[in-house]
Amino acid sequence: MKIIDITQELFSCRVYPGDMSPRYEQAKTIQHDNYNLTNISMSVHSGTHIDAPNHFIANGKAVHELDLSVFYGVCTVVELYGIIGDNEIMEILANCHERLLFKGQNELSDNAATLIAKSHVKLIGVESQSVGNMSHPLNVHVALLEKGIIPLEGLILSNVNPGEYILSAFPLHMRGSDGSPVRAVLIDGTNQ
């Protein structure tokens, strides 16, 4: 079994334009206080993270209300570049698992998001900080989140081959939050 870390390092991670970059402060040190203690401040959408429906949907579910089974299980990794349109997504949906990760510089078109929203998929993962177009992400997010499909954004898939894996990407337990950082890993059972 091989475990592949697909998570950005938090304090050097990418953030959505305009969002706060994660920062930390060493509040206590062993030298002065006999122990280390670090405080952090950040957006919940920093680095590798999930979006909860209440990020874009009024009265949508918050992180603490999400079904945790969505964040663990068999996933399909596909590699695509550019805008993902109807033809590409229909072919992928015919052969993918409930968790679908897109490797490469790509973005879902509005139509592709609508087709995914009508499918069996429960989670969509991308390397970008947004599952939709960075300059106008609303339509793609709303199409997915209205159907309870969770975006997993900010992945690092450069060292991952397309194929099937076990995904583990649990959010933190944060009551009312519209997103959460995750530690995302792929488990490859083929390399015993």
**Rounded CA gap, 49 and 43, in Å?**
10
pLDDT in tens, 21-38: 999 999 999 999 999 999
DSSP line for 134-147: TT--HHHHHHHHTT
Confidence of residue 191 (pLDDT cuts 50, 70, 90): low
Confidence of residue 192 (pLDDT cuts 50, 70, 90): very low
Helix 86-93 and helix 110-117: axis angle, to 10°? 20
Q: What percent of the chain has pLDDT over 70?
A: 98
State if pTM tops 0.85: yes
**Rounded CA gap, 179 and 133, in Å?**
18
Joined together, the tokens standing for residue 11 give 């304090």
Confidence of residue 134 (pLDDT cuts 50, 70, 90): confident
**Rounded CA gap, 98 and 112, in Å?**
16
Cβ–Cβ < 8 Å for 180, 53:
no
32 labelled catalytic: no
pLDDT of residue 117 exceeding 70? yes
Candidate list 45, 49, 55, 141, residue with the active-site label: 55
pLDDT of residue 53 exceeding 60? yes
Which DSSP symbol is given to 68?
G
pLDDT in tens, 59-116: 999 999 999 999 999 999 999 999 999 999 999 999 999 999 999 999 999 999 999 9
